[in-house]
Amino acid sequence: MRLLVGDIGGTKTALGVAETDGESVTLVEPRRYPSAAFESFDQIVRRYCAETGLICRFAAFAVAGPVQDRCCAATNLPWILEADVLEESFGFAGVELLNDLAAVAWGVPALGPDDLAELHPGDGSDRGNACVVSAGTGLGEAGLYWDGFRHHPFATEGGHTDFAPADDLEFALLSHLKTRFGRVSWERVVSGMGIANLYDFLLTRHGGQTPDWLRKVIDEGGDTPAAVAQAAAEGRCPICVETMELFLRLYGREAGNMALQQMALGGVFLAGGIALKNLPALRRGGFLEGFFDKGRMGALMRRMPVRVILQPHTPLMGAARFMASQ
């Protein structure tokens, strides 16, 4: 089966053409576009088709948001996608929409050993339920139900559940964020926006100011989370280091929450750009400390393998496998 596949996120939109037999996937002409530079998803599709000259009869698009009745209002973009409208606009014989983390979950079985980095081996089994947690522009989560023979991916909106503080610092963080947002979800602290929120909180708590050199980097690049993470990795900014330590501990806690809810003995997979770009920091211990910190369930948590997905096109691969299954 040959089809156009897409991964539509708040920061970037990726498109490509996939060939799949329902299991393996070959991807050609993958390209990325800054989502905010376009008024609609249609514009990106037309740009891609004009640049590549590729035409497909079928398409499957992964969207960061809940998909219902073949429609999706993107969570972090002012776009509404409708499969029927896309079929009519581009002459597709069939279009399917799926949640972006469900697409990652569909892509997991197509990954090879070189597409994964192990953070914790667990008990070495890939049998049992699994889950995917992805901190990026937002926080996405999906599950993979194990029926005894194979995994069945399903979408969740678990990243929007209530943030639960565990110590005095985190209660102060919750109070700080409630003043700004009212309700505080896990996405407010475990995501790109979460890194910026944590940095702002710690800066206020310590009565500090952003160093001039860091302010210049942020102003020039427009990406506070990336600037803070880089400054922390270089050890140039104590508050940035503290920000990333807190972020990684919270990321581990929420990944552990999802793993515990799904009884993910088949594996916990971390997706998204933050994990990919901060792999050395993930390996240093704060993430796994937060992941294992589940009281009486600590021994169970240690049985669960934890891996980082290195393959950036996993959502596109998953969208292709999902379409082939329909």
- pLDDT over 80 (residue 221): no
**CA-wise closest residue to 132 among 152, 105, 159, 171:** 105
- pLDDT over 90 (residue 280): yes
At residue 125, the pLDDT reads: 81
By the 8 A CB rule, do 83 and 90 touch?
no
For the residues 49-68, what does the mean pLDDT come to? 94
- pLDDT over 90 (residue 219): no
Start-end of H helices in 278-313: 279-283, 286-292, 298-302
Pick the CATH number of 113-310 from 3.40.1030.10, 3.50.50.60, 3.90.1150.10, 3.40.367.20: 3.40.367.20
10 is in an annotated binding site: yes
At residue 165, the pLDDT reads: 97
All residues at 6 or more sequence positions from 79 whose CB lies less than 8 Å from its CB, including other chains: 8, 40, 41, 73
For the residues 277-297, what does the mean pLDDT come to? 95
Phi (first) and psi of residue 94, to 5 degrees: -165, 135
- Give, rounded to a whole angstrom, the gap between the first and last alpha carbons of the chain: 12
By the 8 A CB rule, do 23 and 317 touch?
no
6 is in an annotated binding site: yes
For the residues 266-282, what does the mean pLDDT come to? 95
158 is in an annotated binding site: no
The rounded distance, in Å, linking the Cα atoms of 144 and 266 is: 9
The rounded distance, in Å, linking the Cα atoms of 293 and 304 is: 13
**In this structure, which amino acid lies at residue 127?**
R
8 is in an annotated binding site: yes
- pLDDT over 90 (residue 55): no
16 is in an annotated binding site: no
Strands (DSSP E) found in 174-275: 268-271
Phi (first) and psi of residue 74, to 5 degrees: -60, 135
Q: Domain boundaries in the chain?
A: 2-106+313-325, 113-310
At residue 126, the pLDDT reads: 82
At residue 60, the pLDDT reads: 98
Q: Could you report the per-residue pLDDT of 74-132, keeping only the tens digit for each? A: 988 999 999 999 999 999 999 999 999 999 999 999 999 999 999 999 998 889 999 99
Q: What percent of the chain has pLDDT over 70?
A: 100
Give strand pairing partners of 135.
139
Q: Could you report the per-residue pLDDT of 151-190, keeping only the tens digit for each? A: 999 999 999 999 999 999 999 999 999 999 999 999 999 9
At residue 84, the pLDDT reads: 97
3 state DSSP class of 234? helix
7 is in an annotated binding site: yes
Q: Could you report the per-residue pLDDT of 228-272, keeping only the tens digit for each? A: 999 999 999 999 999 999 999 999 999 999 999 999 999 999 999
* Residue 62 token pair: 């992964």
Question: What pTM did the predictor assign?
Answer: 0.94
Report CA-CA distances (Å) from 60 to 15, 87, 99. Answer: 10, 11, 11
Pick the CATH number of 2-106+313-325 from 3.90.700.10, 3.40.190.10, 3.30.420.40, 3.50.50.60: 3.30.420.40
- pLDDT over 80 (residue 17): yes
